[in-house]
Each structure stands twice: as C-alpha cells, then as structure tokens.
Chains A and B, each alone.
Chain A
C-alpha cells in the first residue's frame, strides 16, 4: 500500500473528503472481514456435518456388521436392518393395536397435554410463590414432600383414580413437567434484580404490572431453559403411563415388543420417539429464540465474525 502517497493526498483534501474516504475504506475492510468470516463459518459447518455423518455411519454400520458376524447376538441386541424392516412394516401394515400413526397420535396427545398443563401450573405457581413470601413459606415444605415421592409411583394412584384412558397419562406427564418448571420459575422470580422492581414501583407500576413487565420477562430465561428438559419428561410420563396400562400408544407398542422378545420392535419405537423429541426440541429452541430475542448474542455467536 502506498501509504505515503495516500497521506499526501489527504493533506490536500477537506476534512469532509477525508472522512468520506475513510468511511469507504472502513466499509471495504468490513466487507472483507465479513466475507472471510462467512467463508470460515461455512467451512466449519461442513466439517462438523461431515464428522457427524461419519460417526453415525460408524456406529450404525458397526452394529449392523457385528450383529451379522454374530459378535453380538441379534436376538438380544437387534440389528439396524431389522429395525428398518420393523419400521417399514409398522408404517405399511400397522401394529397389532391399529395403525402406527394412531399410536403416535395418542402418545403425542398425552405428552403435549401433559406438557401444557404442567408448564402452565409450574409457571403460575412458581411466579406466585416466588413473589408472595408468605405462601412460599407455607406451601414450600409440602411441595418438597411431594417432589420427594418417586413420581412414577404416583402413576399407580392416577390409574386408580382415572382408569386406563388418556387422563391418567396426561396427569402423570404434567406432574413430571410441573416440578421441573415450578422450581425454575420460582428461582427465576427470586433472582429478579431488586433495582428493576424498585424502578418500576417508583414509576407507578401496580403489582400486576410489575409481574408482567419485570418479573415474568426476567424469569423467562430460567423458565425457557427448563422447557427443554420438561418436554422430555412429558414424553417419559406418557410412555411410562402407557407401560403401566393402556389400550393404545407407543408405550404399549414397546411393552408388546418386549413381551414378544422383539428387540427390533423396541428399538424401532425408540427411533420414532427420538424423532418426535428432536422435533419438539427444535420447536422449543425456536420459541426460546423468539422469547429471548432481546438478549445480547452469546460470546460463541459473536466469535463467528
């Protein structure tokens, strides 16, 4: 770069000209930096994806071959090809309890309803107890007691109350979800910066307005973090509920396969559940991004540029 000639030129220019020249220089610099960052990001993504694919092929391929060579017994461990066959069979001819789609639908309905009720209950009660000290002191110990009970055992009681239908499974799922969300919401409310609350109070906010404009958004970081785990719990609740007794659902499909010594069936149902869970996970991540759009990008995201 001919720096000297450039600076000589600059001496002839007015400050405005210098500034505009500088600005275009800066813009050009920024453009190159952006382009380079983009290239690097793309390259990294490619490498990561290639690595992932390779790992998947290794594990699944190894499993397939080991089973074929009888190093592991396919009777107990199943075989990827068998799992695929099982899946194809289910989707083409249905299961012994009806079409696979209706099994998926039943389980999804139970999990989703349980998720929604559990989240609502957890958020409402968490926010309430987090703000009202008296209630927290009174109810707190009881919540801890219920939380200490192995919640799967609760499933048995729910069946006694509600029978073998959907409601018992929804209740079980929502109880599992509730505790995860409740403790996070409660803690989130407790962590709200006092200065924010005081500021809102001085500005004339009512209690409800403080909850809406300050407490909830602040606790939302905690609450959304709990949602990832919570959906997993909702699915667990639904499946375990179906295990305990059901006429339909993926849990029943699994327990049926188990009773017929069909590991491929168990694995195939697991694949379906995994697909459902991953779909839900990406939905929750999307929601989280939307809800927490105000947050400064994390350091890893910034590091990309």
Chain B
C-alpha cells in the first residue's frame, strides 16, 4: 500500500469552515435539546437528553453514535420536521419554527418518489420553489450529469441500483443549493468502493457550494476522512460524549488514501476509544449478550475495516 505520507504540516488545517464564515445563517446550534416520545400506552421514552453542539457555517460535521441513540431524531429537529421537548435548536441564530430555510435532507430511507422519473424527482426542489418546469428540468439534467447519471433521466427509481438511487437523492438534495445539508447515513447501504467514489464526489460538491453539513454515519473512518468535526453520541438516551475537531488539511483528496496518514490513524483511534464503550453498551442493551468480540475486532485494524457497527445490529 502506498502510505501517502507526504510530510504535510498537519497543524495548519485547524480552520473549520474553510475560512468562509460569511454565511452566518448556516450556523446550527443545539443547546440543552431533549426529545421525549410518548408511546401509545402512555409510557414516556427519552430519546435525547441535553444535547449541545454547534456546527459552524460551512463546516462539515459528522455525528457518530450507537444505533438508536437519536441521531436521526436530531437531524429531524434541525430540519424543522420535529420539535425538541426541551431546549432550543437554532439555525442562523433564529429558533427553528416550521421547515428550516435553506436546508436539504438526504434521508436514511429511500425518499425518491417511485411514480416520478429520475429527472422529475431531481426537479422537485425547484418545482416546489416555483421555478418554471422547463428551467427546473434543465437544472435537474445538469445535476444528474454532475452525479454521473446522464442518460438515466427517464428511468424510474426502481430501475436503478441502490448506489444510483443514492446519487439521485444526492442530486435532488443539492439542486436547491442548500446552505445546510443534512445527510442521514447517505452511503450506509453501499459497498466500500461505491462509498469511496461517492464520498469523493460529495467532498467535491461540498467544496464547490460550501454548505454546513451534518452527516450521520456508522462508519468512523468515513466520519474522520470527510469532516472538520466529529460528534460522538452516547447510547440511549443520547447525549454528546465528545466533540473532536479533525485537523487534517483540506482539500483531503482521495478518501481511500487519507486513512493511511498517521494523524488520521491517531484521530481515528482516539475517537474510537470514546465510541467503543457506547456501541458495546447499546448492543448489550438491545439484547446482544456480549458485543466485545465483534467490536474489538473492528477497532484493532482501523486501517482496513471501518465498520463500527456491532455485528448483530439491524
């Protein structure tokens, strides 16, 4: 393997947001956020408790944490789809009330409309915002080209592969040129190679538009490789366990190669130490007897296997 250690000065990259703090409207602040759910039987369940963290404008922030710790719930509240039971979610200094302005959301589940063609799906954003149909389609065509799907305009989602659908979803999310991009395990179901390609595509597009990104993933390697900041959450009820600034220089270049940098390994190890306990606890809580074997295995070879999910998980 070519350990691309090119002697960069690693302390130079500690400028999250790439110095473009101009779009203050894209700052995300969660303070004291708690979210409780009431089950139909009247039992109250606390999914999130006292969550505090900030995403600076233009920053790429990854959120990692064991399954069921409330990551998707957090994202929903930033988008304005859901309200905290206590605490405040602020975007650009204003309390979130209704759908947040300038936000795009890539959902964990498939959200492409099966009855619309790929082109019509991507064009939805502009169409909803009142752009003329012709113009919306032209820009959708353009975005499909950017994610490498030219020629698939007239296909329906069920005719595409899983990876292609994710790319369509990415184009559909980016076409509105969001100032905030929320991504919920966007590449979770993809194979390693496709994931690497799409991560690189995402980084390229992010550097072009510089939105603030909140990126949920189970893959710690992916989190470290892509982001400026990694937020580690505890198992349920979810709280913030730690926030790690990733001082790897930008542009990162190929995601597959950066993971051999010593600083990368150092950060990965540091965060993994923090995450490991939570993953084990969550696994034990949800009925797994002892997650230790699988989890330890994943931690040992941080260079090859980045799946920080316990083996028995969903």
Contacts and interface: CB of A to CB of B under 8 A. Distances in A.
Contact of A205 (B79, B110, B128): B128
Contacts of A205: 124, 128
A217 B81 contact: no
Contact of B129 (A196, A204, A217, A292): A204
Nearest to B124: A203
B60 interface: no
A21 to B, nearest CB: 25
A195 interface: yes
B99 interface: yes
A190 B220 CA distance: 38
A7 interface: no
Interface in B86-128: 99, 103-105, 107, 109-111, 113-116, 124-125, 127-128
Contact of B128 (A195, A200, A218, A295): A200
A206 interface: yes
Interface in B223-282: none
Contacts of B113: 196, 213-214, 217
Contact of B105 (A196, A202, A214, A218): A202
Given A202-B99, A204-B128, A205-B128, A195 B115 contact: no
Contacts of A99: none
A218 B114 CA distance: 9
Nearest to B101: A204
A198 interface: yes
Contacts of B79: 198, 202
A69 interface: no
Interface centre among A199, A201, A205 (most CB of B within 10 A): A199
Interface in B200-238: none
A201 B124 contact: no
A296 interface: yes
B307 interface: no
A198 B158 CA distance: 20
Contacts, number: 63
Contacts of A213: 113, 116, 124, 127-128
Given A195-B107, A294-B156, A202 B116 contact: no
Contacts of A218: 115
A217 B115 contact: yes
Chain A binding surface, main DSSP class: helix
Interface residues of A, number: 21
Given A202-B105, A204-B176, A196 B115 contact: no
B81 A198 contact: yes
Nearest to A209: B128
A247 B99 CA distance: 60
Contacts of A206: 128
Contact of B104 (A202, A217, A295): A202
Contacts of A220: 115
A10 B252 CA distance: 42
B114 A199 contact: no
A205 B76 CA distance: 17
A203 B125 contact: yes
Interface centre among B113, B115, B129 (most CB of A within 10 A): B115
A202 B103 contact: yes
Given A195-B109, A196-B113, A214-B113, A201 B125 contact: no
A188 B107 CA distance: 23
Interface in B129-179: 129, 156, 158-159, 172, 176
Interface centre among A198, A202, A217, A218 (most CB of B within 10 A): A202
B111 A201 contact: no
A294 B107 CA distance: 22
A217 B117 CA distance: 13
Nearest to A217: B115
Given A213-B113, A214-B113, A198 B107 contact: yes
B188 to A, nearest CB: 15
B198 to A, nearest CB: 19
Given A198-B111, A217-B115, 9 more contacts: A201-B99, A202-B99, A202-B103, A203-B104, A203-B128, A204-B125, A204-B129, A213-B127, A296-B156
Top 8 A-B pairs, shortest CB-CB distance:
A199-B111, A294-B115, A205-B128, A204-B128, A217-B115, A202-B105, A296-B158, A203-B125
11 contacts: A195-B111, A198-B105, A203-B172, A204-B99, A204-B129, A204-B176, A209-B128, A217-B115, A296-B156, A296-B158, A296-B159
